[in-house]
Amino acid sequence: MRFWLDGIERRGPAGVPVGFVLFAQGERVLGWNEVTGAARGLYCGIGHCFECRVTIDGIRDQRACLVPLTAEMRISRQTPPLPLTFEDAP
Ligand code: FES
Fold of 2-79: Ubiquitin-like (UB roll) (3.10.20)
Helix (H, G, I), strand (E, B) or coil at 56: strand
Question: What residue's CA is closest to ligand 1, atom 3?
Answer: 47
- The domain spans of the chain are 2-79
Identity of residue 80:
P
pTM (two decimals): 0.86
* Cβ(78)–Cβ(55) below 8 Å: yes
CA of 90 to the centre of ligand 1 (A): 27
Of ligand 1's atoms, which has the minimum distance to the CA of residue 49?
A: 2
Query: Given this model, what pLDDT does residue 2 score?
Result: 98
Query: Given this model, what pLDDT does residue 76 score?
Result: 97
**Residue of 23, 52, 56 with the most ligand 1 atoms within 8 Å of its CB, for mutation:** 52
Residue of 75, 59, 58 lying closest to 21 (CA atoms): 75
Query: Given this model, what pLDDT does residue 70 score?
Result: 98
Ligand 1 shell residues, CB under 6 Å: 19, 42-45, 47-52, 63, 65
- Mean pLDDT, consecutive 10-residue stretches, the chain (90 aa), reads 97 98 97 88 97 96 98 92 58
